[in-house]
Amino acid sequence: MPELPEVETVRRGLQRLVVGRRIDGVEVGRERTVRRTSRQALIDGLTGTSLVAAGRRGKYLLCPLDSGDGLMVHLRMTGQLLLVESGSARPLHTHVVLHLGDAELLFVDSRTFGEMVVYDPDHVDIELPEVARLGLDPLVDNPDPDQLWAVLRRRSMRIKPLLLDQHVIAGIGNIYADEILHAARLHPETPASSLRRRDAVAIHEAMGRILNDSIRAGGSTLSDVGYVDMMGEGGSYQDAHLVYGRTGERCPTCGRGFIRRITSGGRSTHFCPVCQRPRT
């Protein structure tokens, strides 16, 4: 569910509402949420500390603690961080509770793919190997069009699965990959090795604009489960989606094609067959 704009919205919530507040108690319900280490490791690592800052790389929240350790949170498909008043009713699937004086930070996650871990920042490459190998973050690293072109063109994969590869670009998920490729007028199965410089420029422009617009809108909240920010509020960027979830609708860009849905790299993929015509 949450991709870069949604994770960034949560990061801003942590920065504004949780950084600097002492964690005076930790409860871990579901052990699976802390499977990388253990229930006791999370409790011992967080109790008595506070977040010094709230960082993000790709879809990973990385928060330095005043103990010198760091807290990593990944929401995966259905994870949510919610700030509530102490003593509030716990939503179904609340797996971790951080007590912050008169408030509580809840980690709620129905599918339990998400995780939390306290790590040693000096050993990220061992404790969080996938974070150490993350690719360029469109906002944190702010790559220029030529850097982007360089990392994309040296692969022969199709562009859609490549955009989803977190080791290449970090933070793009299934919704924004489709929206970015539509804005750049590229068919999702275009081989990356065939990209021209002007394609990279188009992807670069679309990526920056779409991700920033979405952050401004508080992210995308789809009708079903629904991503929400720390205060439980949904975003509104789904209203600006041009292709994702619009199968069969007339293309709002060219007005001639009808949005098609295919499977690419095992993921549902939406595009306009007219303005994203495959190249030969």
Partner DNA sequence: AAACAAACCTGTGCGC
Partner DNA sequence: TGCGCACAGGTTTGTT
Binding site for DNA (CB under 7 A): 1-3, 6, 32, 58-60, 74, 76-77, 92-93, 110-113, 130, 155-158, 161, 164, 166, 173-175, 191, 220-227, 238, 264-268
Residue 172 and residue 164: Cα distance in Å, rounded?
Answer: 6
What is the smallest separation between the CB atom of 221 and DNA, expressed in angstroms? 5
Give the three-class secondary structure for 227: coil
Query: Residue 95 or 99: which CB sits closer to DNA?
Result: 95
Nearest Cα residue to 206 out of 246, 248, 159:
159
Q: Which of 3, 6, 115, 127 is catalytic?
A: 3
267 given a catalytic annotation: yes
27 given a catalytic annotation: no
What are the CA-CA distances from residue 261 to residues 74, 219, 239, 243, 246 (Å)? Answer: 28, 22, 19, 9, 9
Report yes or no: 82 and 93 within 8 Å, Cβ to Cβ.
no
Query: Residue 45 or 135: which CB sits closer to DNA?
Result: 135
198 given a catalytic annotation: no
Helix 197-216 vs helix 4-17: crossing angle, to nearest 10: 40
What is the smallest separation between the CB atom of 267 and DNA, expressed in angstroms? 6
Residue 211 and residue 203: Cα distance in Å, rounded?
Answer: 12
Query: Residue 133 or 256: which CB sits closer to DNA?
Result: 133
Q: Which of 11, 56, 57, 59 is catalytic?
A: 59
End-to-end CA distance of the chain: 34
Q: Which of 27, 30, 267, 273 is catalytic?
A: 267
Report yes or no: 106 and 97 within 8 Å, Cβ to Cβ.
yes
What is the smallest separation between the CB atom of 256 and DNA, expressed in angstroms? 25
Report yes or no: 26 and 118 within 8 Å, Cβ to Cβ.
no
Residue 109 and residue 95: Cα distance in Å, rounded?
Answer: 7
What is the smallest separation between the CB atom of 254 and DNA, expressed in angstroms? 24
Other C-beta atoms lying within 10 Å of the C-beta of residue 134? 20
What is the smallest separation between the CB atom of 71 and DNA, expressed in angstroms? 17
59 given a catalytic annotation: yes
Query: Residue 208 or 265: which CB sits closer to DNA?
Result: 265
Query: Residue 40 or 156: which CB sits closer to DNA?
Result: 156
Query: Residue 22 or 90: which CB sits closer to DNA?
Result: 90
What is the smallest separation between the CB atom of 48 and DNA, expressed in angstroms? 30
Helix residue ranges, H only, 23-173: 39-46, 124-127, 129-132, 145-153, 159-164
Nearest Cα residue to 221 out of 231, 213, 212, 229:
229
Active-site residues, by number, are: 2-3, 59, 267
